[in-house]
A and B are shown apart, each in its own frame.
Chain A
Amino acid sequence: MAAAIEAKKNGIDDIVILERDVQLGGILNQCIHNGFGLHTFKEELTGPEYAGRFMAEVKRLEIPVETGCMVLSISPEREITVVSRAQGLRVIKADAIVLAMGCRERPRGALNIPGTRPQGIYTAGTAQKMVNCEGYMPGREVVILGSGDIGLIMARRMTLEGAHVKVVAELMPYSGGLKRNIVQCLDDYGIPLKLSHTVVDIRGKRRLEGVTIAQVDARGVPVPGTEEDYACDTLLLSCGLIPENELSLTAGVSINRATNGPFVDDALETDVPGVFACGNVLHVHDLVDFVSEEAGRAGRSAAAYIRRQGQKANAPKVIRVQPGDGVRYTVPSTIDLNNMDGEVHLRFRVRDVYKGRSIRVLAGGEAIVTKKRKIMVPSEMEDVVLKRDALKDCDLTVEIGGGV
């Protein structure tokens, strides 16, 4: 929606939003908790309220929307094959496409947890949809594996709905979610968080009866003798999100192994001309405000691409942005110096927990930006703004430096 709004405001009238769900808003519709929109709207909103603001703007700008339709493929020539009950099978030829398909959750099958295969095991987001949108409780005695934000939010949600959340186990020695969610979702309700712990066994034939949790060593291997049994009828998994790029692949977009999202330049354009990406399909975010900002930028870029009929304003001069020490990836991975805006947001995640260190952006071995950070954690995306004037005609490396 944010991409469509910006494209419209930048002079493009022939737009359509293709949505698989029956309503706009995506995952925000099931995120009924507060904490959205503090940066964008300077208010603390819930997910549906945040989405509602954008829906109102889409409506005001009279941007066409098709819900309940499924895109089957996108060709490198930007032909979109879409099927819906209302209109059957169609091919839409687009001048530009903004990919905004979001991400999906890592399921049990991808986690290799030993044990039986009873009912009662859900990803946290599936449980969230059942409870918040459909009004069903997945179970009463709950263990949560993984401390991603959805897992933490669901620990509180299930508690408020009358369930007993016994423990949240996290494989890593640090939480996968935001600090505020540990405080207000676990600490407030006395739910223990066990770091460096994982589920090593699942029991139950028809319905889940219990799980075994064990401590893991520095390599993530369970430590014998530390096993603890928990009786439960529900196991929620909050073990990571993966950008949903099946359609990007049909278009021939190259995928970054570090993010599982497309490689993009500073305009958020993929390596297929006229195809842009934003939000969780590009890289998994923790703040919706960042998603909307990024989507707006993709929408503006798509509009500019159409206005210039695919031609760049200036001859490109492309530099690469590379992750250095302590940095897992960067978005974007290239910057076109001759066509970029006055500044570019460089977003990335760190590999480990770093206290009292700094972010350094190096150009030809020289630091052009140094930002002090009290603490950096893998669960919280970093954002550094690079000014056009500070860049030189050489590749950039982003790394975690010492204290300054």
Chain B
Amino acid sequence: MTRNMTCIGCPMGCDLIVEVENGVAVSVTGNSCGIGKKYAETEVAAPTRMVTSTAPSDGGGPVPVRTRVAVPKDKIFDVVADIKATVVKRPVAIGDVVIEDAAGTGVPVIATKAVE
């Protein structure tokens, strides 16, 4: 089976042509770099996305956060719910872990902005 997809690895947005056999990508063309190949393989096997959101903080405004790496696509809303239930203690620096394990994905959520 042939699947056409657009790589989201960077803003280039390469049009990928992926040959799929038994749920596995056996060939990827149209990509400009290794990111495209990897994206196509993951997208076929088990799609993942990085999740970005804001978490409430103790007394300050919202603190922007993200998952350290991409999480399974079907866990996005669970991860967001976890983030919303967390109160970030200030001060916080870029890269500080806010949640150790977001929604059982094993992926930590980190702060993306220093807030005093």
Interface on A for B, CB 8 Å cutoff? 29, 32-35, 38-39, 44-46, 48-49, 52, 131-135, 160-161, 178-180, 182-184, 188, 286-287, 374-375, 380
Contacts and interface: CB of A to CB of B under 8 A. Distances in A.
Given A132-B54, A160-B80, A178 B94 contact: no
A213 to B, nearest CB: 25
Contact of A184 (B49, B53, B56, B61): B49
Contact of B52 (A32, A39, A179): A32
Contacts of B10: 35, 38-39, 44, 180
Interface string B57-80: 000011010100000010011001
A132 B11 contact: no
Contacts of B66: 32, 34, 46
Interface in B18-72: 49-54, 56, 61-62, 64, 66
Contacts of A188: 49, 73
Nearest to A30: B64
Contact of A29 (B9, B94, B113): B113
B73 A32 contact: no
Given A133-B61, A135-B56, A32 B6 contact: no
A62 to B, nearest CB: 19
B56 to A, nearest CB: 7
A276 to B, nearest CB: 26
Contacts, number: 79
A179 B8 CA distance: 8
Given A48-B64, A183-B6, A183-B13, 6 more contacts: A49-B112, A135-B54, A160-B77, A160-B80, A179-B6, A180-B9
A131 to B, nearest CB: 8
Interface in B74-116: 76-77, 80, 94, 112-114
A49 B13 CA distance: 22
A96 B113 CA distance: 32
Interface residues of B, number: 28
Contacts of B76: 160
Closest 7 CB pairs of A and B: A179-B13, A48-B113, A32-B64, A180-B8, A135-B62, A46-B112, A180-B13
A161 B52 CA distance: 11
Nearest to B115: A48
B24 to A, nearest CB: 21
Contacts of B80: 160
A134 B73 contact: no
B84 to A, nearest CB: 9
10 contacts: A29-B113, A52-B113, A52-B114, A160-B51, A160-B76, A178-B11, A183-B6, A183-B8, A184-B49, A375-B15
A161 B56 CA distance: 13
A116 B73 CA distance: 40
A318 to B, nearest CB: 33
B11 A48 contact: no
A52 B94 contact: yes
A286 B51 CA distance: 21
A182 B94 CA distance: 28
Nearest to A28: B113
A34 B65 CA distance: 10
B13 A178 contact: yes
Contacts of B7: 180
Contact of B54 (A32, A34, A287): A32
A44 B114 contact: no
A160 B53 contact: yes
Contacts of A286: 11
Contact of B94 (A32, A49, A184): A49
Contacts of B11: 35, 38, 178, 180, 286-287, 380
A38 B10 CA distance: 7
Nearest to A49: B112
Given A48-B112, A180-B11, A286-B11, A132 B6 contact: no
A175 to B, nearest CB: 11
B15 A374 contact: yes
Given A134-B62, A180-B7, A286-B11, A44 B94 contact: no
Contacts of B114: 52
B13 to A, nearest CB: 3
Contacts of A44: 10, 50
